[in-house]
A = this chain, B = another copy of it.
């Protein structure tokens, strides 16, 4: 699994780690039952304090994504995939909703918003073929 953190983007490091673990689960890069990299290893990889990784993993346990196996490590729970996919969709929906609501409140009608969406979709498509 690939992880990357940026200490200067304002988002807490432990949150970046937790989010990326969830992404890896949602995308299948981490399979149910598999072990997540150990706290110490992940900390070394990211050049981050082990406590920071531990906090991310602790939050993931609270979310039901990770399960501790005593003395062995942390494994992906069976429900993890569902949880992570659901959370990701909620995130997308939430951002869309707030953007569109903002537009309505600013006086745009549905067609103007659709136009905005199409503009962004084209830009995305362009960026993907020519990154």
Query: 28 pairs across A/B with beta carbons < 8 Å?
Result: A7-B69, A7-B72, A8-B69, A12-B70, A13-B70, A27-B106, A27-B107, A62-B62, A88-B102, A89-B106, A92-B99, A92-B103, A95-B96, A95-B98, A95-B99, A96-B96, A96-B99, A96-B116, A96-B117, A96-B120, A97-B123, A97-B124, A100-B117, A100-B120, A100-B124, A104-B124, A104-B128, A114-B121
Contact B70 A7 (CB under 8 A): yes
Interface residue tally of chain A, by bracket? 35 or more
Which B residue sits closest to A102, measured CB to CB?
Answer: B92
Contact B67 A93 (CB under 8 A): no
Q: Indicate if A29 sits at the interface (CB-CB under 8 A).
A: no
